[in-house]
């Protein structure tokens, strides 16, 4: 079993879930709130977790995490946390459950509307201690298990970013066993989320060589193993490396992200369409790479190296083809996005923290053009 | 300025030293013990640090750090710490001063002989909270500023390894400005320490992909910039990258190290010869790489890639040539080591923690052979 201590203590391997009891004890948790969703409850994953809980631990379960976690859901979970006198959190699921768990931890010790604590409103410098949180990812994509960020849809429908070292899980238990049953489409879409993290983190001009190196390593793993994991969900080697790549993607974006994420945050805020974050990242990535191409020096050369592409290969075209091979949507139109939504989407992007870390900051007009391009397929 | 938060909060850039006042305040330090050595006191580095200390901070200075820090020196510094009611530490210097600072922090809150707390004696699991420690490296090699390890020579002359997350500096202030005046030979020898960290960390079989990726990135920097920094000490770009490479080397060895280090720890324990750690690493590295060659799978291919070497290049030979270009000693005999010392050196290696992380564990006989090879120049 590999023990990795940055930025969060991580245990990764098949069967890693067995350390959960120890992890709860070390963090003084005896009455955890398990934050998860109905999809997880319908599989055997919840039973697997339940079976390794020590006898003296009494869990409360919140299984109402929506696809894009909302402030409303966070407050429902928080009410259960308080009602049952919980003393910590187990976040079990994909990025949505883990992000929701972090937001519950935040509001357990911080009053007011959640937007008061957003990165855009300077929350990072004001967020203090929160209850301990153990993250157990069941997808390989988000990396949220090793990060201090959480993306929440506010009561007025905006998708905001909250970030603080105090939101970082005390421990990430990364057990690829839990991803063996993940359906093809979710494997593909979450895996492309990891790829987007690795690529965007590498391209942002913020200087952080260790994070950049980790991003390139994660990217190589996604290119090598994602198609294998999609083609054969029981490919244990591929599942291990995708789990690692997902965490590496998040470690990498300690550097920052870019317009792939500002755009997919805007798109993901829509309460009707409920679009999947990883899928959105996959679909908008070629468009954003073309927009950034002239502003990244020779970084595309390094990306091509990590991806094993030829010296002159077009990375954007390669990703379009890879998306097709993974049977992901070809464009935003296919996902239900309409031209009429574009002006509001473009405005949403301008206050997203990821906007500011892109190699160059697009204008509202340029965002509108990028959305239009992604509507047609990049 | 790049802010890097794993594993330690690090600020790196020319002029980074200006954040020291804030760092002391954030960590509640008003009466620091500055752990340094007479070499630093003879340069303008101490004045630079003194000039950025806030007016309400009263430092005590211990400048008696030996080349290989001893338990005796640690206890002298600890006496000053207590006498002056200090509430934290500033470790200012190369690896010796930083390691000594960590050991003072340890003994400020832990009783008994320092060997009781060694890694070999299970100290890692028993070491608790220590006073805050701000590390300011003045060489680019050790990486100790971002690590939780400390190497101390005990009162009975053994070189022991102590390690704990509680020994990790609260912050590393990496200001390449402080390395501009580092003499050629020390630049070369400390730089080769960083190279040894990157290579040994990558080769150890312990699984930690982010650490491995950081090690390869650091190795590329050393190969690209060390000779430049040696040839022209005022080459600011080279100094920045060597400072980064040194920290990366230490982040990488979160994975573990190997026989380069078990051998150089044994050699560095000699109280008469007072051999330089980085120089020893440089001199024994070719020998250990030859010993390990058949036990590392295809990892040499990746090393060659990071080093920019041809596909069939002999890495051990390349390092021998690089040592010569840096005007480092050709072999251990040239450093004053004698054949008569070899049996004891080999035995010393067997209980060094780095011995256990090598791709394969040498026998005492094999260590004797490696020392004999390194006597003659690999």
* pLDDT greater at residue B105 or residue A272: B105
Mean pLDDT confidence for B297-326: 97
* pLDDT greater at residue A332 or residue B159: A332
Q: Give B210's contacts in chain A (Cβ within 8 Å).
A: 4, 6, 210, 214, 217, 247-248, 251
Domain boundaries, given as residue ranges, for chain B: 2-178, 183-376
Model confidence at A219: pLDDT above 90:
yes
The per-type count for chain A, helices as H runs and strands as E runs, is: 15, 9
Confidence at residue B68, expressed as pLDDT on a 0 to 100 scale? 86
Contact with chain A for residue B125, Cβ under 8 A: no
Share of chain A above pLDDT 90, in %: 89
Confidence at residue A139, expressed as pLDDT on a 0 to 100 scale? 96
Pick the CATH number of B2-178 from 3.40.50.150, 3.40.50.300, 3.40.50.1970, 3.40.50.1400: 3.40.50.1970
- Give the pLDDT band of residue B3 (cuts 50, 70, 90): low
Taking one residue from A and the other from B, the number of pairs with CB-CB distance under 8 angstroms is 64
Rounded to the nearest integer, the mean pLDDT of chain A is 94
B210, B212, B216 member nearest A6 (Cβ):
B210
The per-type count for chain B, helices as H runs and strands as E runs, is: 16, 9
- Give the pLDDT band of residue A99 (cuts 50, 70, 90): very high
- Interface probe with A: pick from B210, B215, B247, most Cβ of A within 10 Å: B210
d(CA A33, CA A28) in angstroms, rounded, equals: 13
Mean pLDDT confidence for A261-271: 92
Mean pLDDT confidence for A288-307: 97
Question: Which residues are registered as beta bridge partners of A12?
Answer: A2, A174
- Give the pLDDT band of residue B201 (cuts 50, 70, 90): very high
Model confidence at A249: pLDDT above 60:
yes
As a whole number of Å, the end-to-end CA separation of chain A is 41
pLDDT digits (tens, 9 = 90+) for A156-188: 888 899 999 899 999 999 999 999 999 999 999
Model confidence at B4: pLDDT above 60:
no
Share of chain A above pLDDT 70, in %: 98
* pLDDT greater at residue A248 or residue B272: A248
- Give the pLDDT band of residue B52 (cuts 50, 70, 90): very high
DSSP calls for A82-136: HHTT--EEEEEESHHHHHHHHHHHHHHH--S-GGGGSTTTTGGGT------EEEE
A255 neighbors A282 (Cβ within 8 angstroms): no
Confidence at residue A159, expressed as pLDDT on a 0 to 100 scale? 85
Q: Please state which of the ranges A272-276, B39-43, B227-231, B372-376 shows the lowest mean pLDDT.
A: A272-276
Tokens of A190: 């979450």
Model confidence at B310: pLDDT above 60:
yes
CB-count exposure of residue A228 (10 Å: 0-12, 13-18, 19+)? middle
Residue A65, SS3 per DSSP: coil
- Give the pLDDT band of residue A377 (cuts 50, 70, 90): confident
A203 neighbors A288 (Cβ within 8 angstroms): no
Tokens of B363: 């026998």
Q: Give B247's contacts in chain A (Cβ within 8 Å).
A: 210
Touching B: A residues 211-240, CB under 8 Å: 211-214, 216-217, 221
Contact with chain A for residue B64, Cβ under 8 A: no
pLDDT digits (tens, 9 = 90+) for B265-298: 999 988 888 899 999 999 999 999 999 999 999 9
d(CA A55, CA A69) in angstroms, rounded, equals: 31
What is the predicted ipTM?
0.91
Model confidence at B359: pLDDT above 90:
yes
- Give the pLDDT band of residue B365 (cuts 50, 70, 90): very high
Mean pLDDT confidence for A225-229: 98
CB burial string B333-343: b at 16+ within 10 A, e below:
eebebeeebbe
Model confidence at A62: pLDDT above 90:
yes
Share of chain B above pLDDT 70, in %: 98
CA distance A173 to chain B (A): 15
Model confidence at A83: pLDDT above 80:
yes
pLDDT digits (tens, 9 = 90+) for B95-106: 999 999 999 999
Mean pLDDT confidence for A118-137: 95
d(CA B241, CA B255) in angstroms, rounded, equals: 22
Confidence at residue B377, expressed as pLDDT on a 0 to 100 scale? 79
Unique residue bearing structure tokens 């959640």? A114
Q: Give B5's contacts in chain A (Cβ within 8 Å).
A: 7, 165, 254
Confidence at residue B67, expressed as pLDDT on a 0 to 100 scale? 87
Give the C-alpha distances (Å, rounded to integers) separating A153 from A71, A157, A193, B247, B254. Answer: 6, 6, 19, 39, 38
- Interface probe with B: pick from A210, A212, A254, most Cβ of B within 10 Å: A210
Model confidence at A253: pLDDT above 80:
yes
Mean pLDDT confidence for B64-91: 96
Model confidence at A1: pLDDT above 90:
no
- Tell how strand B9-12 and strand B171-174 pair up: parallel
Q: Give A214's contacts in chain B (Cβ within 8 Å).
A: 210, 213-214
d(CA B146, CA B247) in angstroms, rounded, equals: 6
Confidence at residue A281, expressed as pLDDT on a 0 to 100 scale? 97
Topology of domain A182-376, CATH? Dehydroquinate synthase-like, alpha domain (1.20.1090)
pLDDT digits (tens, 9 = 90+) for B140-156: 999 999 999 999 999 88
H/E stretch holding A341 reads: none
- Is-cis flag, bond preceding A319, omega within 30? no
pLDDT digits (tens, 9 = 90+) for A193-215: 999 999 999 999 999 999 999 99
Model confidence at A114: pLDDT above 80:
yes
Confidence at residue B141, expressed as pLDDT on a 0 to 100 scale? 94
Q: B213 and A216: CB-CB below 8 Å?
A: yes
Percent helix, percent strand, percent coil in chain B, to nearest 5: 55, 10, 35
**Cβ-Cβ contacts under 8 Å for A125 (sequence gap 6 or more):** none
Confidence at residue B254, expressed as pLDDT on a 0 to 100 scale? 86
Tokens of A329: 């949507």
Confidence at residue A6, expressed as pLDDT on a 0 to 100 scale? 59
Model confidence at B1: pLDDT above 60:
no
Q: B4 and A211: CB-CB below 8 Å?
A: yes
Confidence at residue A289, expressed as pLDDT on a 0 to 100 scale? 98
- Give the pLDDT band of residue A7 (cuts 50, 70, 90): low
Quote the radius of gyration of chain B (alpha carbons, Å): 19
Q: B216 and A213: CB-CB below 8 Å?
A: yes
Give the C-alpha distances (Å, rounded to integers) separating B161 from B117, B265, B362. Answer: 9, 9, 19
CA distance B12 to chain A (A): 10
What CATH number belongs to B183-376? 1.20.1090.10
Total-model pTM: 0.92
Model confidence at A49: pLDDT above 90:
yes
Q: B6 and A6: CB-CB below 8 Å?
A: yes
Confidence at residue B6, expressed as pLDDT on a 0 to 100 scale? 59
Pick from A115, A193, A9: nearest CA to A351: A115
């Amino acid at each position: 079993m590999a023990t990795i201590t940055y930025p969060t203590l991580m245990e990764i391997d098949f069967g890693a879930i067995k350390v959960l009891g120890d992890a709860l004890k070390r963090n003084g948790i005896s009455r955890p709130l398990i934050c998860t969703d109905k999809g997880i409850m319908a599989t055997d994953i919840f039973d697997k977790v339940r079976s390794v809980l020590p006898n003296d631990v009494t869990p409360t379960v919140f299984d109402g995490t929506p696809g894009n976690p909302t402030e409303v859901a966070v407050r429902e979970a928080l009410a259960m946390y308080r009602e049952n006198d919980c003393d910590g959190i187990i976040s079990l699921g994909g990025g949505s459950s883990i992000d929701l768990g972090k937001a519950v931890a935040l509001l357990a010790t911080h009053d007011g509307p959640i937007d008061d604590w957003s990165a855009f409103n300077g929350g990072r410098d004001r967020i203090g201690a929160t209850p301990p949180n153990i993250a157990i990812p069941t997808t390989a994509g988000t990396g949220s298990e090793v990060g201090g960020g959480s993306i929440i849809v506010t009561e007025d429908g905006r998708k905001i970013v909250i970030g603080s070292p105090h939101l970082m899980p005390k421990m990430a238990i990364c057990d690829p066993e839990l991803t063996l049953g993940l359906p093809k489409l979710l494997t593909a879409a979450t895996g492309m989320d990891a790829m987007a993290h690795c690529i965007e983190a590498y391209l942002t001009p913020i200087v952080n060589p260790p994070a950049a190196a980790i991003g390139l390593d994660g990217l190589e793993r996604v290119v090598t193993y994602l198609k294998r994991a999609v083609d054969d969900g029981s490919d244990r080697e591929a599942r291990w490396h995708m789990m690692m790549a997902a965490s590496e993607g998040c470690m990498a974006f300690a550097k920052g992200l870019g317009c792939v994420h500002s755009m997919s945050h805007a798109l993901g805020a829509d309460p009707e369409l409920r679009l999947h974050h990883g899928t959105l990242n996959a679909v908008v990535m070629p468009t954003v790479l073309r927009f950034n191409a002239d502003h990244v020096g020779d970084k595309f050369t390094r990306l091509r190296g990590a991806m094993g592409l030829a010296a002159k290969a077009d990375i954007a075209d390669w990703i379009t083809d890879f998306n097709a091979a993974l049977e992901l949507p070809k464009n935003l139109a296919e996902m239900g996005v309409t031209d009429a939504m574009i002006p509001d989407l473009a405005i949403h992007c301008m206050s997203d923290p990821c906007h500011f870390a892109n190699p160059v900051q697009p204008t509202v007009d340029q965002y509108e053009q990028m959305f239009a391009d992604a509507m047609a397929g990049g």
